[in-house]
């Protein structure tokens, strides 16, 4: 990471912490130096920034968000943040135009010793339901690299900080809750795994609401 990108990463992290007073909660898992796939709910373009901001610095350096190339390559500023600051794995979400297989891209990043931040819903949830149905990518990635920990992460309140269509964030306390790591079972079918992963994520929302 170049000096400009490192300074930008520090500034973005400090701003995110300041505007949200974000608190990281580790339940059944510790922030240790172990390769992981963090899978989280998705309500804002700032989700991965908030998750990244609560990781210890030693984990930040190896953790790469997986994000849509169409959004993060749209302007020079976004390109700088996505590519240079966060070293995102940028996925072409258009099946008709993309040249690279998204699962292969993510597996390659894992093979390079990175941890990943992924959003299995595939798009921002702008509905009243707590979670959109997961797409199949998390299952195929888990199958491709079964030894890597899958850690559910519930991000709470960020949609209130930066509602859709707004450019000025509203100060609001947020939490990022990390749950117990899971793995795909040897003979587990896709639908069973997806249901288990969704339940693991929703359980963190329930736990937070009951806290």
What secondary structure does DSSP assign to 110-125, as a single string? Answer: HHTT-EEEE-TTSS--
Range of the domain at 179: 3-66+94-210
Q: 170 burial class (0-12, 13-18, 19+ CB within 10 angstroms)?
A: exposed
pTM: 0.90
Structural domains in the chain (count): 1
**Does residue 80 belong to any structural domain of this protein?**
no
CATH of the domain at 31: 3.40.1130.10
Using DSSP, state whether 24 is helix, strand or coil.
strand
**Does residue 78 belong to any structural domain of this protein?**
no
**Does residue 153 belong to any structural domain of this protein?**
yes
**Does residue 146 belong to any structural domain of this protein?**
yes
Residues facing residue 156 across a β-bridge: 175
CB 159 within 8 A of CB 44: yes
> Distances in Å between the alpha carbon of 52 and those of 63, 65, 101, 118?
8, 8, 25, 12
**Does residue 76 belong to any structural domain of this protein?**
no
Each residue's pLDDT expressed in tens, for the chain with a length of 211 residues: 688 988 998 898 888 888 888 899 999 899 999 999 999 999 887 889 889 999 998 999 899 999 988 888 889 999 999 999 999 999 988 777 788 899 999 999 999 999 999 999 988 888 889 999 999 999 999 999 999 999 999 998 765 555 555 555 666 678 999 999 999 999 999 999 999 999 999 999 866 655 4
Alpha carbons 116 and 123: distance in angstroms, whole number: 17
Residues facing residue 91 across a β-bridge: 68
**Does residue 81 belong to any structural domain of this protein?**
no
Size (the chain), residues:
211
**Does residue 112 belong to any structural domain of this protein?**
yes
**Does residue 171 belong to any structural domain of this protein?**
yes
């Amino acid at each position: 990471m170049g000096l400009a990108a490192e300074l930008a990463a520090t500034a973005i992290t400090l701003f995110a912490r300041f505007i949200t007073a974000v608190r990281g909660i580790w339940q059944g898992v510790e922030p240790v130096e172990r390769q992981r796939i963090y899978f989280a709910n998705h309500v804002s373009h700032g989700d991965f920034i908030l998750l990244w901001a609560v990781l210890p610095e030693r984990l930040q350096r190896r953790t790469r968000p997986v994000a849509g190339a169409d959004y993060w390559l749209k302007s020079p500023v976004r390109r700088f943040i996505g590519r240079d600051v966060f070293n995102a794995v940028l996925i072409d979400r258009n099946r008709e135009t993309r040249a690279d297989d998204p699962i292969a891209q993510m597996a390659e990043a894992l093979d390079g010793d990175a941890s990943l931040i992924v959003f299995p819903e595939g798009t921002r949830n702008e509905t009243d339901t707590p979670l959109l149905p997961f797409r199949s990518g998390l299952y195929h990635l888990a199958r491709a690299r079964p030894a890597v920990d899958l850690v559910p992460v519930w991000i709470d309140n960020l949609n209130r900080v930066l509602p859709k269509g707004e450019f000025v964030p509203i100060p609001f306390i947020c939490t990022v809750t990390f749950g117990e790591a899971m793995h795909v079972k040897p003979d587990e079918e896709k639908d069973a795994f997806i249901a288990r992963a969704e339940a693991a994520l929703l359980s963190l929302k329930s736990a937070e609401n009951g806290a």
